[in-house]
Amino acid sequence: MTKTVLLTGVSGYIGLHVAKLLLEDGYHVRGSIRSKSKEKHVRDTLHAASVDTSKLTFVELDLSKDEGWDEAANGSDFVVHVASPFTVANPKSEAEMINPAVEGTLRALHAAEKAKIKRVVLTSSLVSMMGSMKSGTVTPSHWTDINAKDVSTYIKSKTLAEKAAWDFVNSQASTNQMELVVINPGAVYGPPLGDNLTGASMGFIDQMLKGKLPMVPRLAMPMVDVRDVAKLHVLAMTHDGASGQRIIASDSKPHGFADVAQVLKDEGYEGPSTRFAPNLIIRLSALFDREAKGMLSFLGMNVSADNSRTQQLFDWTPISFNKMIADTGAAVKAHQTS
């Protein structure tokens, strides 16, 4: 019998890749979108990627509203909760980002519990582990100190949402123990499905290829290909050893934006710059620019990741950094407009 997966955030960068793998594996995907207007775009994007969408249906869900969650989860076998607000810029009010992230996660978990779903896979982020670190090696036992200096609203939102998920699952009665697996990706790049370049990662590559980033901030963190992130989500749904795990989804070695630019230059693109922006300029910009303020958490960061558990558990080898960036550059270039 075909298994059904409630996949939230199906129209997003990661969500589309997860949907592709699930549909190719024969699952029925119940994809959540905030507006019915996105349905055609999702289906067309997957069609263009040669994916059969006959087992794809849609439900309208809002992270900030109760309506529809119980019905969406009812009859599903798994929940993969990818949807979460993301922007580098700090919002005017932290609640604008934190509330939907935390409340949306809890809505997904409450609905899954009512539907007696055995396992939920949650997309978190490596920033929930390393957001208050500047150096060293992050492991699955690390947690970000949200009260540390310069921690951005996005980092707080991912950390608080993940903590809320673990608290929810750990507070369940032992007779009704729903399993949780959390995927913690590093900075996500890799070719998008479709032509939407508005996300933070694709927007950054787009601007870099156009020569609109004459300098880059000095930082380095673990990165990961979106195709690997999707693969780990799908594997985590059914792998016996994944239950209760925080899964580091990234390469072990840190890379910076200058490294990204260098790979693109080596691929023959003329726009990217490897020049570093002085930290002082970014700090001064942060006084009046919310995006610069959101970058302060990462300024001067040089953190590695211990991904050994992920590699062993899933027999997984990450797509190389050079291939990830080269493939991203080619995909973005193909969809660029002036």
> CA-to-CA distance for 324 and 263, rounded, in angstroms?
10
Domain residues for 32? 4-335
DSSP structure class, residue 29? E
pLDDT in tens, the chain (338 residues): 789 999 999 999 999 999 999 999 999 999 999 988 899 999 999 999 999 999 999 999 999 999 999 999 999 999 999 998 766 556 678 888 889 899 999 999 999 999 999 999 999 999 999 999 999 999 999 999 999 988 888 899 999 999 999 999 998 866 668 999 999 999 999 999 988 777 778 888 998 899 998 988 899 999 999 999 999 999 999 999 999 999 999 999 999 999 999 999 999 999 999 999 886 666 766 566 666 566 667 778 899 999 999 999 999 999 999 999 999 999 999 988 64
Residue type, 98: I
CA separation for the pair 18, 49 (Å, rounded): 13
Instruction: Give per-residue pLDDT as tens, 298-320.
Output: 778 899 999 999 999 999 999 99
Residue 282, phi-psi category: left (phi > 0), alpha (psi -120 to 50), beta (remainder): alpha
| Residues 6+ positions from 136 with CB-CB distance below 8 Å | 303, 304
Catalytic residues: 158
**156 closest CA partner among 82, 97, 111:** 97
Looking at every residue in the chain, the average pLDDT score rounds to: 91
Q: What is the CATH number of the domain that holds 78?
A: 3.40.50.720
Number of domains, the chain: 1
Q: Chain centroid to CA 334: how far?
A: 23
pTM: 0.94
